[in-house]
Amino acid sequence: MGTVLSFTLMAVAGRAILSDLNTFELMLYRSVIGVMIVSFFLGRSTRGFSQLKTPRLKQHLLRSAVHYTGQNLWFFAIATIPLAQLIALEFTNPLWVALLAPLLLGETLTRNKLLIVLLGFVGVMIVARPGVEPINLGHVAGFISAMGFALTNIMTRKLTRHDSVLTVLFWMTLTQAIFSLVLSLPNGIPWPDTSLWPWIIIMGITGLSAHFCLSQALTLAPATIVAPMDFIRLPISAMVGMLLYQEPLLVTVFIGGGVILLANYLNLRIKS
């Protein structure tokens, strides 16, 4: 539930911030706050800053670049499509993991797994409704961001075999702050209006708390319990979209989201 709350607040904060800043500028302030928070916890940890020494800096850089791309696309989608549609599209993340893990982790892609992935993409079509509603760049961005997050999850799984979670988060926030600084400099970096700072701070905190809560949940309960709980984000996001942004509650979003959830559930239950 901490993860669900973090992602929901991140989406609301993102919409508020994007009214004045672009995604690169948003990520710059978020990443700088993230570096400060992670550095605080590193200083208080048993191993301290010594755990940042790693022979896998290139892997950390690649992971950060992929996550950064996915995160920017996610924020772009937040500003252009209804929240519920974006969250439903984001649920394809585990299906992308199932599809890409054989290529990157050497896992086996069985016939059943492939059919489950296809079922999940049927759910995506129900949500996006191609031919009924125009597909815009927001839908494409949301779909590709889910793929980016799946790649990030796979690379995180490989990195955390050797490096601590704090190490992964530190190199992620630091490199993304550098990416954002380079991409923001050409047009100048605006100083946010005073009214935006509470949202920027919320963004910086929730960007880390979502990852932390999810990691903690997976250490306390099986993935078969934790993963389906993420579906709660769909009705919550739909209600937030309706109450804050007057977005319509579309039954197709819930039907398509249910199909994607079913595919995720089968993906967790079927071993071959």
pLDDT bin (cut points 50, 70, 90) of residue 143 is confident
Give every CB contact of residue 88 below 8 A, 6+ residues apart in sequence: 123, 124, 127, 234, 253, 256, 257, 260
Give every CB contact of residue 109 below 8 A, 6+ residues apart in sequence: 98, 99, 101, 102
Residue 76 has pLDDT above 90, yes or no: yes
Residue 217 has pLDDT above 80, yes or no: no
Alpha-carbon span 38 to 146, nearest angstrom: 25
- Looking at every residue in the chain, the average pLDDT score rounds to 85
Across 42-62, average pLDDT: 91
| Helical H segments across 79-196, by residue range | 83-90, 93-104, 111-128, 137-159, 165-184
The residue behind tokens 């923001």 is 184
Task: Sort residue 219 into left (φ over 0), alpha (ψ -120 to 50) or beta.
Answer: alpha
**Closest residue by Cα to residue 193 from 2, 17, 34:** 17
Taking the CA atoms of 257, 221, 93 and 12 in sequence, report the sign of the dihedral they define.
positive
- Cβ–Cβ < 8 Å for 227, 268: yes
Give the number of other Cβ atoms within 10 Å of residue 68's Cβ: 22
Q: Residue ranges of the domains in the chain?
A: 2-269
Residue 61 has pLDDT above 70, yes or no: yes
Between 272 and 116, whose confidence is greater? 116
**Within 13 A of 197's CA, how many CA atoms are on the CB side?**
3
- Cβ–Cβ < 8 Å for 170, 42: yes
Write the single-letter amino acid at 20: D
DSSP-based three-state secondary structure for 19: coil
